[in-house]
Amino acid sequence: MRCCVFLAVLLSLVLSLSKVDFCKPNPCGNNLAKCVALKSNFTCLCQYGFYYSEEDCHRGKIFPGIITLKVAYDDSVQIVNSVEYEDLFQRLTMFFKDAFNSSLFKQTVIVEIQPQKESRAALLTTVTVTNLFTKDADIDYEKVSSAINNATINSSLVSNYAATTYCAAFKCDAQTTDCEESMFPKCICKNNFSMTEWDDRSCSDCSKDCSAEENEYCAKEKGIPTCKCMPDFEQKNGKCVSCPVGYSGENCKNDSKLILIIVGTVFGAIILSLVIAVSIVSVRAKHKQDPEKKSLIRSGYSNPNTSDDRQTTMFPRVQTTSGHANPGYQPNNPYEMRSSNRGRFPERDYDDLYEISREPEGFRMQRRY
């Protein structure tokens, strides 16, 4: 029972310890030093070329190098607050302190941990480090390399050491910059890139040539700034030009407008063909005569004064008298006709109250008394 209680207390202590933020409050002071929390402790780091001492950062002499460890590589060492990283950090710090054994030596900074690429067996671990000495220390690369190589003879941790460049320790972004070698290297932007005020070792913006005036804009692709043509433009001969007719979108890959143009053209042609066909049918229908109308024209009455069949009229002539042509004849009421045939018609036995006037102005009703 007591054993279980002890384990429970120990477990709670471990859990509470793992949740502790060793950088609160800031143990590295309020100057330029940065606090890095480890698994069960912390370390204070300064900018490149400076070492931490007495809650402040001081400029020192820089000696970058690459060491090869005798331990196999494990991905867990990439996690700063892991047990593996803290163990490696403490062992390396102690190794270099014993190797130099001098008050001029101030700090070892781990720059990068990675597997050894040339290893054919189990991947060994390589570490890029920077050893910092006081600014006025009488020491050079030869003395540093000699001290470290002597320490590797009896070391169970380090198997090899090689000096490297300042750029290897400074770590300029290889994709966007070129490193200019010096004790304090300078990262120079590659073509088509430019730095912002927040950049130090990378170029996170496109060059000034990438502008809206050139129909371009700056985009981030996998964290790298890329100058691209605006929508509805494509790259041709180093310039962004408008898309061909029917194309649009990014790099003019969208051909939906072209499809609409083709479909619209086809339908337009069909509609135009229908209109022409209807017009032709309508014109032919106007010129096509009705059979009854043709028969009426052909059977029209001929001029009584000629026998020429070609002189036909649209409508048959109507004779106004009983078989006699009388151009001056005007038809009258049979009841008022004074002729020899009057006896054939009965006399009118009524009086019209009104009669039609034959005045030239028109018809007028005239009252009779």
Q: Left, alpha or beta for 345 (phi > 0: left; psi -120 to 50: alpha)?
A: beta
Same structural domain, 163 and 242: no
Higher pLDDT, 132 or 198: 132
Mean pLDDT along residues 138-160: 94
pTM to 2 decimals? 0.61
Cβ-based burial of 32 (10 A; exposed 0-12, middle 13-18, buried ≥19): middle
Where b means 16+ CB within 10 Å and e means fewer, 142-157 reads eebeebbeebbeebeb
The answer to the question of residue 123 being in a domain is yes
Q: How far, rounded to the nearest angstrom, does the alpha carbon of residue 2 sit from its chain's CA centroid?
A: 66
Token duo for residue 94: 């102690």
Domain boundary among 123, 145, 170: 170
Q: Using CA atoms in the order 123, 124, 125, 126, what is the torsion angle rounded to 10 degrees?
A: -110
15: confidence class by pLDDT, cuts 50, 70, 90: very low
Indicate the residue type of 94: M
The answer to the question of residue 152 being in a domain is yes
Higher pLDDT, 152 or 335: 152
pLDDT tens per residue, range 218-234: 998 888 898 889 888 98
Higher pLDDT, 8 or 162: 162
Q: Please list the residues that pair with 60 across neighbouring strands.
A: 134
Same structural domain, 122 and 26: yes
The helix (run of H) or strand (run of E) holding residue 17 is helix 2-18
Higher pLDDT, 353 or 239: 239
282: confidence class by pLDDT, cuts 50, 70, 90: confident
The helix (run of H) or strand (run of E) holding residue 8 is helix 2-18
Cis bond before residue 231 (omega within 30° of 0): no
Count of CB atoms situated within 10 Å of the CB of 81: 15
How confident is the model at residue 232, as a pLDDT? 87
Mean pLDDT along residues 142-149: 95
301: confidence class by pLDDT, cuts 50, 70, 90: very low
Domains contained in the chain, number = 2
Mean pLDDT along residues 309-334: 52
pLDDT tens per residue, range 83-120: 999 999 999 999 999 999 999 999 999 999 999 876 55
The answer to the question of residue 326 being in a domain is no
167: confidence class by pLDDT, cuts 50, 70, 90: very high
How confident is the model at residue 369, as a pLDDT? 47
Same structural domain, 133 and 32: yes
Count of CB atoms situated within 10 Å of the CB of 201: 16
How does the average pLDDT of the chain come out, rounded? Answer: 79
**Distance between the two ends of the chain, CA-based, in angstroms?**
152
Higher pLDDT, 61 or 249: 61
The answer to the question of residue 119 being in a domain is yes
Same structural domain, 164 and 31: yes
Domain boundary among 170, 201, 220: 170
The answer to the question of residue 99 being in a domain is yes
The answer to the question of residue 2 being in a domain is no
Higher pLDDT, 197 or 293: 197
**pLDDT score of 240 more than 70:** yes
Domain boundary among 155, 170, 185: 170
Same structural domain, 47 and 137: yes
Of 134-143, 173-182, 329-338, the range with the lowest mean pLDDT is 329-338
φ and ψ of 170, to 5 deg: -75, -30
How confident is the model at residue 330, as a pLDDT? 53
The answer to the question of residue 281 being in a domain is no
77: confidence class by pLDDT, cuts 50, 70, 90: very high
Same structural domain, 25 and 161: yes
Token duo for residue 10: 């120990």
351: confidence class by pLDDT, cuts 50, 70, 90: low
Q: CATH no. for residue 122?
A: 3.30.70.960
Taking each helix axis from N to C end, the angle separating 141-152 and 83-100, rounded to the nearest 10 degrees, works out to 110
Mean pLDDT along residues 52-65: 94
Residues of the domain holding 131: 19-170
Higher pLDDT, 236 or 177: 177
How confident is the model at residue 299, as a pLDDT? 55
Which range has the top average pLDDT, 31-35, 137-141, 283-287, 298-302?
A: 137-141
The answer to the question of residue 251 being in a domain is yes
Same structural domain, 161 and 237: no
Q: Using CA atoms in the order 226, 230, 234, 237, what is the torsion angle rounded to 10 degrees?
A: -60
Pairing mode of beta strands 56-72, 193-194: unpaired
Pairing mode of beta strands 186-189, 177-180: antiparallel
